Amino acid sequence: MTGRIEITVSVNGLSYTRSVEPRMLLSDFLRHELGFTGTHVGCEHGVCGACTILLDGRSARSCLTLAAQVDGASIETVEGLGSVENLGRVQQAFRDHHGLQCGFCTPGFLMTITDMLRHHPLESEAEIREALSGNICRCTGYEHICNAVRELAKERGALK
């Protein structure tokens, strides 16, 4: 009960075991303990969306989740989407449509969009904009991000 807690968690398909302080945020755990620095920390109170990861297949704010809570869970981060040499489909769409400038918010957007493409219809422009409304970008003005998502949703077709 007191002191550190041992957790085992799968990140992008690989299993990791670490002992953590109960107050360690999942965002800090991913960055400082495991070195997945693709997960960015912006506001640290759930507003900006930069730290969004997938927790058991659904998007979640890693700054509002404790590492202690994810023992046994499966996490996906931006590092799991692709690599510099071999961009994932969502990453490629961002590149094609200039969906980023400074790139700070981008990992959060990519993870949110991955969840939305898996689970939400994204049939209308309004739905696409609502799906993105929990992530803040201060560079792009969002238009190019919406263009990328529109293409991805069209390519995916109707949700199965």
Rule CB under 8 A: which residues touch other proteins?
1-2, 5, 21-23, 25, 28, 44-46, 49, 52, 55, 58-61, 63-66, 68-69, 71, 112, 115-116, 120, 129-131, 133-134
Our CB check for other proteins shows the closer of 131 and 146 to be: 131
Our CB check for other proteins shows the closer of 45 and 84 to be: 45
Our CB check for other proteins shows the closer of 23 and 154 to be: 23
- Minimum distance between the CB of residue 100 and other proteins, rounded to whole angstroms? 19
Our CB check for other proteins shows the closer of 98 and 129 to be: 129
Cα maximum dimension of the chain: 51
Q: At what angle do helices 125-132 and 106-119 cross, to 10 degrees?
A: 130
76 touches 23 (CB < 8 A): no
Q: Is 34 left (phi over 0), alpha (psi -120 to 50) or beta?
A: alpha
Structure tokens that stand for 134 in this block: 């929990």
- Minimum distance between the CB of residue 81 and other proteins, rounded to whole angstroms? 16
Our CB check for other proteins shows the closer of 8 and 83 to be: 8
- Minimum distance between the CB of residue 89 and other proteins, rounded to whole angstroms? 20
Q: Is 54 left (phi over 0), alpha (psi -120 to 50) or beta?
A: beta
| Cα–Cα dist 56/60, whole Å | 9
- Minimum distance between the CB of residue 145 and other proteins, rounded to whole angstroms? 15
Parallel, antiparallel or unpaired: strands 58-61 and 74-76: unpaired
110 touches 59 (CB < 8 A): no
- Minimum distance between the CB of residue 61 and other proteins, rounded to whole angstroms? 6
